[in-house]
Homo-oligomer: A and B are copies of this chain.
Amino acid sequence: MDELDTAILRHLQEDARQSNRAIAEKVGIAPSTCLERIRLLRQRGVIRGYHAQVDLPALGRRVQAMVSVQVRPLNRDVVAGFERSVSELPEVLSVYTMAGSDDFLVHVTAQDIEHLHAFLLERFTNRREILGFRTSMIFQHLTNPILDPLPPTP
């Protein structure tokens, strides 16, 4: 993980579909070298994958919400079961398993408020392990496109 790897990673985070040659040129190395570096980053697990980012409204998902959930009993089976089943729902973007007063944070999208309401009533109200949940609408979601390595603490 030298600064060459970091530079390559930066470019792949910016645009994962640009050609290997373009990246090689930008970071100032030969295409073959760049290809090998990318292969190693992938193999070492530094790069976990490449994903297209889609526009949510274009997919008919016009509202977003964050749902804080408390479950009981808070044991391994209930936690794993909740994570798995909830993360598979099409309306769910991601599931955070947390420490603190709430056990999960679920990022949800829906077509509109009615759909969101129906979704919550169908998928959360019924579940017996769910003690309670609170829903907060999301106005905007900004994401940091580039993640550089942080220096290790000794």
- The residues of A with any CB-CB pair to B shorter than 8 Å are 1, 9, 12-17, 44-56, 58-61, 66, 83, 87-88, 90-102, 105, 109-112, 114-115, 134, 136-145, 147-153
Contacts and interface: CB of A to CB of B under 8 A. Distances in A.
This protein's copies in its complex: 2
Nearest to A99: B137
A50 B17 contact: yes
Given A94-B141, A94-B143, A96-B141, 15 more contacts: A45-B58, A46-B55, A46-B59, A47-B52, A50-B53, A51-B51, A60-B150, A61-B150, A83-B140, A83-B142, A87-B144, A90-B147, A94-B144, A97-B141, A115-B153
Contacts of A95: 141-142
